Amino acid sequence: MNNRAGSFLWNLRQFSTLVPTSRTVRLYPSGFCRPKMVYSNWNPRKLLSNFDNRMQSFVRYLFQDALIFKSGGDGFQTKSISTATVLTVDRLLCPRRLSFNSKHFVSDNGLKKNFHHEPSNEDVLTKRTKPTPINCRKLSQECNSLSDVLDIFSKAPTFPSSNYFSAMWTIAKRMSDDQKRFEKQLMFNHPVFSQLCEQIMREAKIMHYDNLLFSLHAMVKLEIPQNTLLVQTLLRVVQERINECDEKCLSVLSTILEAMEPCKNVDVLRAGLRMLVDQQVWKIERVFTLQTVMKCIGKDAPIGLKRKLEMKALKELDQFSVLNSQHMFAVLAAMNHRSIILLNECSKIVTSNIHGCPFKILISILQSCRDLQYFNIDLFKGIADYVAATFDIWKLKKVLFLLILFENFGFRPVSLMDLFMKKATDEPGFLNVKSLVSILHVYSSLNHFHKCWTHEFLEVMASALTGSLHHISAENLLNAVCSFCLMNHFPLAPINQLLQKDIIHDLLTSGDVERNVHKLHVLAACLKLDAPCHRDTHLVLPQLPSMPLHPHAKVAEVLSSLLGEGCFSRSVWLPHNYYIDFEIRMDANRSQVLPFSDVDVVTSSATNIQRVAVLCVPRSMYCLDSTHPRGFLAMKMRHLKVMGFHVILVNNWEMEKLEMKDAVTFLKTKIYSPEALSTADIDLQSIC
């Protein structure tokens, strides 16, 4: 009896050591444990007096190899445990693990005693049947489909469940779009998929933060609906644990938010990310992480945060690789921050390493420059020269896409456009309605001609357009014909179809009516002034909205000083909705300015009167970094000459830089003919 009592008291002492009075461990159904604080006044002596009633409350089941107590018939028994029992916790299953020494145990009196666990047959069986931890990479290599991963999960689920989702996304990346769509449908219909989702929701609060983010990233990429309880639960847990975010997690979280649609939890998480980045921006070491974060914070981020990230990027500029420099354009466009210094430095790196750059990257750079309104002529020339040098390896549709982007900037890559014109003329088979309209728009807008190939090129384009008349829309037909008119070419069949009453009515009542009306006015002017066979054509069109007039004050002052008041007219409207800033009347040799009066207006068509149109031209009317006029300015100059004007172009930005004396000299050389100026110089020398 004394031996039984001594054995019981010894077991009771070990139990009190393993289970502190202020802390118990709760078992969760997902197979992991979490400590829970409780408040109790547990006393071993009370337990002796009320053993039968209270013993059951201390029974705990903790994993395999854990301490297990059961109440026996007339005593207290231990199962699968020898004289000393040691509590162990599987380290893989519980990242926030408890630490116990498996060889030593400290008793109440502070003495260290050695104990040895004697494994029973049941222990050996448990170790054999315990699930083996699964590595995500190994799992993705062994499985060929998403269902294979779920089958493995159904046989022996292991912690953390994020490995299964990450493996499924890795496998899905190797599939074609059609196969991926089919496999995802099988995944959603798999009998254990819901079980996997439930388990990862239970594990979310205790798994490592990077595993949590990897699982959420995989769900987003696998296109699990964002409004599901699974995704929203993980978003909430990510919010709660955002302070655990290190640099790696910061990159993954930014990638996740960039791919998700706005919603309440996403918006809150994005706001939390901005606060975290604002605090940790100077601690970021990798350029890739910095760019990922910059791309994620959004266009509506505080300007202070944008500038702080810009300064960090400038500080790390020496660490930029060529790939970092190429991606920086898209990063700045994503956050809508136009950092000229950063863009200039990245442009130099891109231009000097342009050879071998993928076409997709070139397109991304130009699209970002367009969004940021960043014009770098050296960058554009470098890209255009590289594509021209490697022209034969590119498909014409890709080069056309590049030319469309160049046209947005007003940049005219002469050699590349010549090569494309020749190739499109020789191989017109790739032309469809969309590409045809785009090509005509680019070449007419940039006013590009080649002395040898232009006529043949326009004939090929007109033939392709004629062959598409049976299925082309009215708006596309108008765009194509208007582009032909800008280039002073008038294909008969497309114009005749466009002039049909039902098509004109369709254009005036549907689509972008204001834009259609403007183009129809251009068509009417070209038919009247450029095409003899269509001069009798009369289109009844609504009036164009009045444009604000901005007469150039400095040019008016210079003309007053040079010619005197009454010798020129301001803001003159002409037929076909043409407007000129100043008109001057001169003799036929442009050697003498005539007074501007009503009599002159009546006799302006006489052969001894030369009307001079002075146009104040902004920089946007020219191609980028040149004085080559764009399509509408070239057409206006052509039509003014048909109406009997001598056209003088005055560049606004150049006039503003000139002093008054130099401005007078400049306009004098423009207004008077060279012969008149040389005669005036001779007369001045004879007088002297």
Residue 145 shares a structural domain with residue 201: yes
Between 364 and 138, where is the model more confident? 364
Q: What is the pLDDT of residues 86-115, one digit of tens each?
A: 333 333 333 433 333 333 433 444 434 443
Q: Which residue has the higher pLDDT, 682 or 131?
A: 131
Strands in 609-617's sheet, in edge-to-edge order, are: 568-574, 578-587, 609-617, 645-651
Q: Is the pLDDT of residue 193 over 50?
A: yes
pLDDT (average), residues 630-649: 94
SS3 call for 566: coil
Alpha carbon of 366 to those of 6, 379, 555, 634, 667: distances in Å? 85, 9, 37, 26, 38
Predicted local distance difference test score (pLDDT) of residue 128: 44
Q: Are residues 175 and 197 in the same domain?
A: yes
Do residue 494 and residue 578 come from a single domain?
no
Q: How much is the pLDDT for 411?
A: 96
Query: At a CB cut-off of 8 Å and minimum separation 6, what does 24 contact?
Result: 36, 38, 60
Question: How far apart are the C-alpha atoms of 332 and 317, rounded to whole Å?
Answer: 14
The tokens of 99 are what? 């630490």
Tell me: the pLDDT tens digits for 402-419?
999 999 999 999 999 999
pTM here?
0.75
Do 609 and 512 share a structural domain? no
Residue 477 has pLDDT above 60, yes or no: yes
CB 146 within 8 A of CB 186: yes
Q: So what's the pLDDT on residue 155? A: 84
Which H helix or E strand runs over 569?
strand 568-574
pLDDT in tens, 72-87: 443 433 333 333 333 3
| Cβ neighbours, 10 Å, residue 683 | 10
pLDDT at 25 over 80: no
Boundary of a domain, candidates 191, 224, 244: 244
Residue 35 has pLDDT above 60, yes or no: no
> Do 532 and 590 fall into the same domain?
no
What is the per-residue pLDDT for 89? 35
Based on the fold, state whether residues 537 and 565 are members of the same structural domain: no
Residue the block writes with tokens 């004109």: 504
Residue 502 lies in a domain: yes
What per-residue confidence (pLDDT) applies to 132?
55
| The pLDDT of residue 9 | 52
Share of the chain above pLDDT 90, in %: 58
Determine how many CB atoms are found less than 10 A away from the CB of residue 260: 17
- pLDDT of 502 over the 80 cut: yes
pLDDT at position 366 over 90 = yes
Residue 633 has pLDDT above 70, yes or no: yes
Same domain, 538 and 559: no
The H or E element spanning position 609 is strand 609-617
Mean pLDDT of 486-515: 92
DSSP 8-state symbol, 545: P
Q: What is the model's pLDDT at position 452?
A: 82
404 lies in some domain: no
Amino acid 13: pLDDT: 52
- How many Å apart are CA 206 and CA 209, to the nearest integer? 8
Alpha-carbon span 604 to 644, nearest angstrom:
9
| pLDDT the model gives residue 20 | 43
pLDDT mean across residues, the chain: 80
State both tokens at 80.
């699968």
pLDDT > 60? residue 299: yes
Per-residue model confidence (pLDDT) at position 133: 59
Output the pLDDT for position 137: 80
* Tokens at 251, concatenated: 């990159």
In total, how many domains does the chain have?
3
**Does some domain include residue 663?**
yes
Q: Which residue has the tokens 């008041």?
A: 565
Domain end, chosen from 244, 259, 276, is at 244
Among 7-21, 94-108, 423-437, 442-456, name the one with the lowest average pLDDT. Answer: 94-108
- How do strand 578-587 and strand 645-651 relate by DSSP bridges? unpaired
Please, what is the angle between helix 322-334 and helix 340-352, to 10°?
A: 140
Are both 504 and 540 inside the same structural domain?
A: yes
CB 442 within 8 A of CB 404: yes
Q: Is residue 603 part of a domain?
A: yes
User: Can you give the pLDDT at residue 653?
Assistant: 92
Instruction: Please check whether residues 633 and 529 belong to one and the same domain.
Output: no
Q: How does pLDDT run across 210-269, given as a tens digit for each residue?
A: 999 999 999 999 999 999 999 999 999 999 999 998 999 999 999 999 999 999 999 999
Alpha carbons 122 and 80: distance in angstroms, whole number: 7
Residue 314 has pLDDT above 70, yes or no: yes
The better pLDDT of the pair 11, 122 is held by 11
pLDDT at 444 over 80: yes
Summarize the confidence of residues 18-34 as an average pLDDT: 38
Residues 536 and 562 in one domain: no
Q: Does any domain span residue 457?
A: yes
- Same-domain status, 558 and 648: yes
pLDDT higher than 60, residue 556: yes
Q: Which residue has the tokens 């118990």?
A: 24
Cβ–Cβ under 8 Å, residues 293 and 277: yes
Strands (E), 83-205: 104-106, 112-114
pLDDT bucket at 558, cuts 50 / 70 / 90: very high
- Angle formed by the axes of helices 377-389 and 359-372, to 10°? 160
Take residue 504 and report the two structure tokens written for it.
């004109």
Let me know if residue 498 belongs to a domain.
yes
CB-CB contact of 506 with 520 (8 Å): no
Residues 514 and 498: their CA atoms lie apart, in Å, by 17
The verdict on residue 462 lying in a domain is yes
* DSSP-H helix ranges across 28-105: 44-49, 51-54
Check whether residue 557 and residue 540 sit in a common domain. Answer: no
Q: Please report, to the nearest 10 degrees, the dihedral formed by the alpha carbons of residues 524, 526, 527, 531 taken in order.
A: 180
Domain that includes residue 155, residue range: 135-244
* Higher pLDDT, residue 202 or 30: 202
Nearest to 161 by CA among 134, 181, 142: 134
Whether 101 is covered by a domain: the verdict is: no
Domain ends where: 523, 545, 567?
545
52-56, 133-137, 386-390: range with highest mean pLDDT = 386-390
